[in-house]
Amino acid sequence: MHPADRPLDPASVFNAAARLSPHAQVTPVLTARSLDALTGAALHFKAEHLQRSGAFKFRGACNAVFALSEGDAARGVVTHSSGNHGAALALAARLRGIPCHVVVPNGAVEAKVEAIARQGAILHRCAPTIAAREAGCAQVQAGTGATVIHPYTHPDVIAGQGTAALELLTAHPDLDALVVPLGGGGLATGTALAIRALQRDCALYLAEPTGAADGARSLAAGRLDHDFVPDTVCDGLRGALGAINFGHLSAFNAQVLMVDDADTLAAQRLLLQRMKQLVEPSSAIALAAVLTHRETFAGRRVGIVLSGGNVDLAGLAGILRG
């Protein structure tokens, strides 16, 4: 069975955890009393910004790469990415000793593009649209025979992403809710599978930028709505919700919490000031969701996945100024 055709179920997250154990970091869970006081909740931060390649994306990419047969692996892998998934896939491919191609949209954060190249990927530029990214992947695949590892709809990627929540819930089985960022939906879907894997009564909340709220619209309407042009500082959350992810999240009854960019940037500064943790906006949005919806989380034990820390240092002064 081709990896992309494997069933996606709770057992797949356990399988991914076993496959990742020689490669991925078991990231720490951090707490901050001052943020507990500010939100009225007991917060537990899963520090995936300290993961290899600086983001949770390594989990999914590594699981997908090491699930490939020897024949498929020899032809390499290809994906499209504006940053973290590309770097993660390039690192995973380097660990297995196979080629990696990444189609990068024009306008991507240059620090993230440099990180992809630093891991040894072959870069292919394209226009900044989902259609151009998909077309670029298809062209590379046709020319090389490489396996497409989609950043958020590939089943092995989704299962790998779920291992972050699996670790968090295993370490803290008393959590009432988990909050994760929502872009294409890979992390969100993997988290839902992890909750189901442990048969827990734990609510799942998805933090989504107001300027890229196709997930909220799609889940509310009961059908995918990709009629939008993303406008958000959360560059990692500009992708459209995947069909496979939509199906799982709908069935799980996950709730989307929309967050304005200004609140996300304020949360980013708080994490730096109060916890000395530098994370990117696409990560800080999860804390911002809790801060802007205090009534939802007050009195609850809440897990928050800090998804990545690949910040463009050229813009750091602006973050600090607020």
Residues in the chain: 322
Structure token digits, residue 125: 């530029």
Tell me what percent of the residues of the chain surpass a pLDDT of 90: 83
- Of the pLDDT bands very low, low, confident and very high (cuts 50, 70, 90), residue 4 is low
* CA distances from residue 175 to 23, 224, 258, 279 in whole angstroms, order as listed: 27, 30, 22, 23
75 contact partners, CB below 8 Å, separation of at least 6:
98, 99, 144, 145, 146, 147
Q: Is the pTM of this model over 0.85?
A: yes
DSSP 95-132: HHT--EEEEEETT--HHHHHHHHHTTPEEEEE-SSHHH
- Of the pLDDT bands very low, low, confident and very high (cuts 50, 70, 90), residue 212 is very high
Mean pLDDT for the chain? 93
156 contact partners, CB below 8 Å, separation of at least 6:
3, 4, 6, 12, 16, 60, 63, 64, 67, 149
Q: Given this model, what pLDDT does residue 5 score?
A: 61
Q: Given this model, what pLDDT does residue 73 score?
A: 97
Stretch 225-248: mean pLDDT, rounded? 89
Q: Given this model, what pLDDT does residue 39 score?
A: 97
Q: Given this model, what pLDDT does residue 7 score?
A: 75
Q: Given this model, what pLDDT does residue 107 score?
A: 85
Residues 92-102: tens digit of each pLDDT: 999 999 999 99
H or E segment and range at residue 286? helix 281-292
Residues 40-89: tens digit of each pLDDT: 999 999 999 999 999 999 999 999 999 999 999 999 999 998 789 999 99
Question: Quick one: how far is CA 58 from the chain centroid?
Answer: 9
108 contact partners, CB below 8 Å, separation of at least 6:
82, 83, 128, 235
Return d(Cα 207, Cα 157) in angstroms, integer: 20
147 forms bridges with which residues in the sheet?
77
**Interaxial angle between packed helices 57-67 and 155-171, expressed in degrees from 0 to 180 and rounded to the nearest 10:** 130
Structural domains of the chain ordered from first start: 3-56+154-321 (3.40.50.1100), 58-148 (3.40.50.1100)
